[in-house]
Amino acid sequence: QVQLVESGGGLVQPGGSLRLSCAASGNIRNIYAMAWYRQAPGKQRELVATITGGGSTNYADSVKGRFTISRDNATNTMYLQMNSLKPEDTAVYFCKADQEAYFGKRRYTADYWGQGTQVTVSS
């Protein structure tokens, strides 16, 4: 079992910045990938950015060049640095962790989600 807790959301003006954090606890072994998602009211949840244990990153086109995902394996914390924020970035942001385990020759996976943190970009 893995628990994820997001923090760092809030209200900012367009063009401002926020840094979100996601702290993982519990059985944190073998988390091979983490990601940030977001969901605005009435819209589908969308993938924002992902990062592997080796540090490889990918970003949605809508945030590329403005957001930076990172992780600190020593503290089991993932971050999302958000710069040049736009009103369309307003959403609840969720972190997700993918965990793997091997039993014999079979691979098992599990996904864990945090509760989300609200980001509002408005004048």
Query: Which pLDDT band, with edges at 50, 70 and 90, does 30 fall under?
Result: confident
* CA–CA distance, 46 with 70 (Å, rounded to integer): 18
pLDDT tens digit sequence for 90-112? 999 999 999 988 889 998 999 99
| Mean pLDDT computed over every residue of the chain | 94
| Residue linked to tokens 């073998």 | 30
83 three-class SS:
coil
Do strands 18-26 and 46-52 pair parallel, antiparallel, or not at all (unpaired)?
A: unpaired
At 121, list the tokens: 């970009």
53 three-class SS:
coil
For 2-17, give the DSSP string.
EEEEEE--EEE-TT--
Percent of the chain with pLDDT over 70: 100
pLDDT tens digit sequence for 56-70? 999 999 999 999 999
